[in-house]
């Protein structure tokens, strides 16, 4: 079973039987993060978009670990320009990596690097490792195609942004859970900034009230799924 660890904000590591990956490693700029970029030992770095709170320490981590960055093409080109090894992909495309399958999904959001470089369209990730499917939607508003994503994939664990302002808020994330019909939900993208200071327990209670499973994963905590 893959092991997921929450690094804060939208950052997670996933350890499978064949590789370790990190998604959106925003650590050195996040006052709530408990891990430092130097502590992240991975084979792949998956980036949903170029915003500073997602690209984060991704390039540095990839270079230090000789890890491959998997990202939408324009963002991958940007990272390659900074000396990282990359595997560019784009929305709707899937690829079988040695550790598992990654498919890029749509995300309704923007994407620009902290230095102002336009980094294309943002994405979400469907990651199938060791027979289990994880959905990290990136930063996005609610969209009805989540219903299609749920119909086409048996999702074991879905990470949903709930912070509002920049992404879905709690009410929309509860609707996303309705669309996705995943086996379990974990909230993300809350409390890091003042404008996204919402209570994750409220999301968990509302999802449970609709007969699905959800839990708050504290920063630094892990679970197997
Ligand atoms: Ni963003
Ligand atoms: Mn964000």
User: Which ranges of 41-103 would DSSP assign to H, the alpha helix?
Assistant: 52-55, 58-65, 73-81
Q: Identify whether 39 is part of a domain.
A: yes
> 75: helix, coil or strand?
helix
> In this structure, which ligand is nearest to the CA of 24?
2
- pLDDT (tens digit, 9 = 90+) per residue, 1-56? 999 999 999 999 999 999 999 999 999 999 999 999 999 999 999 999 999 999 99
Q: Identify whether 220 is part of a domain.
A: no
**Distance from C-alpha of 23 to C-alpha of 169, rounded to nearest angstrom:** 21
- 112: domain CATH number is 3.60.15.10
Residues in a beta bridge with 129: 132
The environment of the single-atom ion ligand 1, i.e. residues with CB closer than 5 A, is: 51, 139
Cβ partners under 8 Å of residue 17, min gap 6:
129, 130
Structural domains in the chain (count): 1
Q: Identify whether 225 is part of a domain.
A: no
Residues in a beta bridge with 38: none
Q: What is the extent of the structural domain holding 207?
A: 3-211
Q: Identify whether 221 is part of a domain.
A: no
Q: Identify whether 46 is part of a domain.
A: yes
> 173: helix, coil or strand?
helix
Q: Per-residue pLDDT averaged across 186-209, rounded?
A: 98
CA–centroid distance, 49 to ligand 1, in Å, is 7
Instruction: Write down the pTM of the prediction.
Output: 0.98
> In this structure, which ligand is nearest to the CA of 10?
2
């Amino acid at each position: 079973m893959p092991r997921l660890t929450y690094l804060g904000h939208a950052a997670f590591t996933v350890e499978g039987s064949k590789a370790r990956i990190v998604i959106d490693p925003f650590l050195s700029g996040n006052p709530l993060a408990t891990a430092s970029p130097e502590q992240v030992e991975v084979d792949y770095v998956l980036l949903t978009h170029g915003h500073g709170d997602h690209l984060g320490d991704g390039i540095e981590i990839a270079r230090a670990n000789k890890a491959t960055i998997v990202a939408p093409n324009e963002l991958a080109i940007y990272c390659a320009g900074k000396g990282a090894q990359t595997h560019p992909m784009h929305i709707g495309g899937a690829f079988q990596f040695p550790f598992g399958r990654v498919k890029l999904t749509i995300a309704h959001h923007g994407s620009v690097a902290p230095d102002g470089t336009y980094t294309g369209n943002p994405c979400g990730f469907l990651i199938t490792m060791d027979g289990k499917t994880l959905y990290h939607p990136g930063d996005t508003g609610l969209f009805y195609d989540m219903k299609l994503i749920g119909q086409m994939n048996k999702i074991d664990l879905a990470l949903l942004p709930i912070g509002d302002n920049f992404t879905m808020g709690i009410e929309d994330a509860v609707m996303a859970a309705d669309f996705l019909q995943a086996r379990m939900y974990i909230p993300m993208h809350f409390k890091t900034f003042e404008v996204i200071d919402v209570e994750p327990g409220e999301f968990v209670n509302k999802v449970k009230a609709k007969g699905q499973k959800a839990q708050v994963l504290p920063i630094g905590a892990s679970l197997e799924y």
